Structure 1
Amino acid sequence: MGHKTWLILVIFTCLIASSCGRELQAKHKDNFAVYNHTLATILVEYASAVYMSDLTELFTWTCERCDGLTKGFEVIELVVDIQNCLQAFVGVAKDLNAIVIAFRGTQEHSLQNWVEDLFWKQLDLNYPGMPDAMVHHGFYTAYHNTTIRPGILHAVKKAKEFYGDLEIMVTGHSMGGAMASFCALDLTVNHEAKNVQVMTFGQPRIGNAAFTSYYSKLVPNTIRVTNDHDIVPHLPPYYSYFPQKTYHHFPREVWLYNLGLGSLVYRVEKVCDGSGEDPACSRSVTGNSIADHLNYYGVDLMCQQWRSCRIVMDPRVAEYGETDHKGNIVLSRDPAIVDLKMNSQSNEGGVTSST
């Protein structure tokens, strides 16, 4: 073996040694969010309700999921991006004294196809204003480059003008959790919101370690809830041997899992460390369950017809809405109007749309 070949081998070995066995630790502040079980059980109901396809019932908060711990919620704006099958709402929860923003997970493909696609997603977009920070282009675009963002920002401004400077709580499940995170960062960085709280359920990774460091500094009041063997929090994959190029979760994770002691089974809610990638939490299991992805705290997080982007809307709701040339829908109301004066229980003459 020639001298040049040996030199190349030595250099290559050094490069491998510098990356193997050493994970890149994202830099985080120590003022992490404090987990609140009661708040989690409330916000998961909002994350579930946003999956409802009957826009009239959702807008008037009379749907079958618009009850229980979320009863009395007042929707200010409901936004539906038909092309991308995205949906979100903004409203005020007076019992929480907060503006609540909820994002629906993707339905563009079947969940199985979407999960398989995430295995191959690379970091492919530089986040503006954050050196070395890279994010998932699809998740970033879903929030920033659709009708969702302007609708959300308009509604938050309107709510603050009427109710004052309320705390903002942002939630979502699956891809909706990814959008919720980008929304919270947007509100903090670009719209000077000082009181943004985030709680997501079954959220995928959305950026690298550099992005995670920025995010946790700017939006420290963030909780990511993961459930047992839920597959989606394991995606896109985390590669400890390529720390500069891999996706990385931000903190703080709360991992829900069952602990069996003989014939007894206890539900554990484990608050994880501040790394975002605690090896003793969801990373300690294989993460191969779709069933664990679709139910958190006993609440279903999916549409009744998962593969469909079908929506239903009563014609009488049209006076509260606008539809652009692409068919995207924004339903909006003045916060001062409590009663929408609409019989939302009747679907006779309803309008159905699907993509």
Structure 2
Amino acid sequence: MARRGLLKAALLACLLVLCSGRVPTVIQQPSTTIYNSTLAKTLVEYAAAIYTADLTQLFTWTCDRCGDLIEGFEMMDIIVDVENCLEAYVGFASDINAVVVVFRGTQENSIQNWIEDLLWKQLDLDYPGMPEAMVHRGFYSAYHNTTIRDGMVSGIQKTRKLHGDVPIMVTGHSMGAAMASFCALDLVVNFGLDDVKLMTFGQPRVGNAAFASYFKRYLPHAIRVTNANDIVPHLPPYFSFFPQKTYHHFPREVWVHDVGLGSLVYTVEQICDDSGEDPACSRCL
């Protein structure tokens, strides 16, 4: 028991050092029909803006990260669940003509969030037509069993009332990416919305292989951007010898990393295969 506690503490310390609110920089490469690099550069700024400590600056869109590519964003709602240390925002982005939904990742000083991250136990997903699908209890509960979900739905409804049935773009970083994935699936499956898109940054695994298969069916164009040797996408662990029970990423990963030697080093955005666990991408580390 003591050894298990030490292991969890060590993992917690490691994650805090490596993943404390940092969002990867996306280097622009030519866009493809699978992956839009320009859109990724824009969305990573939205994912970074939510780490603004001053909510007044965030709501008025005057924060340090609120200019340049994402200038002119129309904030609709900021949803804060104080009890569970969670935050999201919803608004309208005229440049991409979409409702943008953003979930905050784990705060460095939020021990409660990290405890949720470490609760790797799976639970059955009670969604129609998804037998055998299992999901991460902590991430699922953070989205479904808090005030975040209702606030997010209300924000989307208000934004679409003003701007029409424009597409919905959902994003987030780290734990926020996990919540964003559940949000996007929820909007499609339970609310019957179409034109829902998902692009996340540094996302951990959120379910088993059956869940990944269903997710691919409902959100076939989802993108997970992973950055170099970031540890978060490798958590919870993937065990190939437990194919049905192990955590398994849904596709599609885009791995941002450096290649080359010496002075001939450049950054590439590698589009991975549609398995969700491409051994030639970040899983090769």
Query: Scaled by the length of structure 2, what TM-score is found?
Result: 0.84
Deviations 1:91-147 (A, max 9, x none): 000010000000001238668x939963x7232343432210000111011111111
Deviations 1:231-275 (A, max 9, x none): 000000000001111000000000011012332211011000000
Give the corresponding residue for 2:190: 190
Q: CA deviation at 1:192?
A: 1.4
**Against the structure 1 CA distance between its residues 125 and 216, is the aligned structure 2 distance closer, same or farther, given a 3 Å change threshold?**
same
Deviations 1:314-333 (A, max 9, x none): xxxxxxxxxxxxxxxxxxxx
Question: What is the identity, as a one-letter code, of the residue corresponding to 1:61?
Answer: W
Q: Which structure's residues are more often helix, by fraction?
A: 2
Q: CA deviation at 1:220?
A: 1.3
Q: CA RMSD in A?
A: 1.9
Give the corresponding residue for 2:216: 216
Q: CA deviation at 1:282?
A: 0.3
Rg larger for = 1
Distance, in Å, in 1 between the alignment partners of 2:33 and 2:106 is 27
Give the corresponding residue for 1:131: 131
Q: CA deviation at 1:33?
A: 6.9
Query: Relative CO higher for 1 or 2, CA cutoff 8 Å, sep ≥ 6?
Result: 1
1:1-355 equivalences in 2 (<5 Å): 34-107=34-107, 114=114, 118=118, 121-129=120-128, 130-285=130-285
Q: Secondary structure at the match of 2:203?
A: coil
* Contact kept in structure 2, 1:223 and 1:252, CA below 8 Å: yes
Q: CA deviation at 1:161?
A: 1.4
Question: What is the identity, as a one-letter code, of the residue corresponding to 2:165?
Answer: D
Q: Secondary structure at the match of 2:122?
A: coil
* Contact kept in structure 1, 2:117 and 2:138, CA below 8 Å: no
Query: Scaled by the length of structure 1, what TM-score is found?
Result: 0.68
* Contact kept in structure 2, 1:85 and 1:108, CA below 8 Å: no
Question: What is the identity, as a one-letter code, of the residue corresponding to 2:120?
Answer: K
Distance, in Å, in 2 between the alignment partners of 1:214 and 1:204 is 17
* Contact kept in structure 2, 1:171 and 1:177, CA below 8 Å: yes
**Against the structure 1 CA distance between its residues 33 and 172, is the aligned structure 2 distance closer, same or farther, given a 3 Å change threshold?**
farther
* Contact kept in structure 1, 2:122 and 2:135, CA below 8 Å: yes
Distance, in Å, in 1 between the alignment partners of 2:244 and 2:79 is 36
* Consecutive unaligned residues in structure 1, runs of 5 or more: 1-31, 286-355
* Contact kept in structure 1, 2:85 and 2:110, CA below 8 Å: no
* Contact kept in structure 1, 2:120 and 2:137, CA below 8 Å: no
* Consecutive unaligned residues in structure 2, runs of 5 or more: 1-31
Q: Secondary structure at the match of 1:186?
A: helix
Q: How many aligned positions are there?
A: 252
* Contact kept in structure 1, 2:237 and 2:247, CA below 8 Å: yes
Q: CA deviation at 1:78?
A: 0.5
Q: Sequence identity, in percent? A: 63
* Contact kept in structure 2, 1:115 and 1:232, CA below 8 Å: no
Deviations 1:132-183 (A, max 9, x none): 0000111011111111100110111111111111011000000000000000
Distance, in Å, in 1 between the alignment partners of 2:93 and 2:117 is 36
**Against the structure 1 CA distance between its residues 283 and 62, is the aligned structure 2 distance closer, same or farther, given a 3 Å change threshold?**
same
**Against the structure 1 CA distance between its residues 181 and 134, is the aligned structure 2 distance closer, same or farther, given a 3 Å change threshold?**
same
Q: CA deviation at 1:191?
A: 1.3
Q: Secondary structure at the match of 2:146?
A: coil
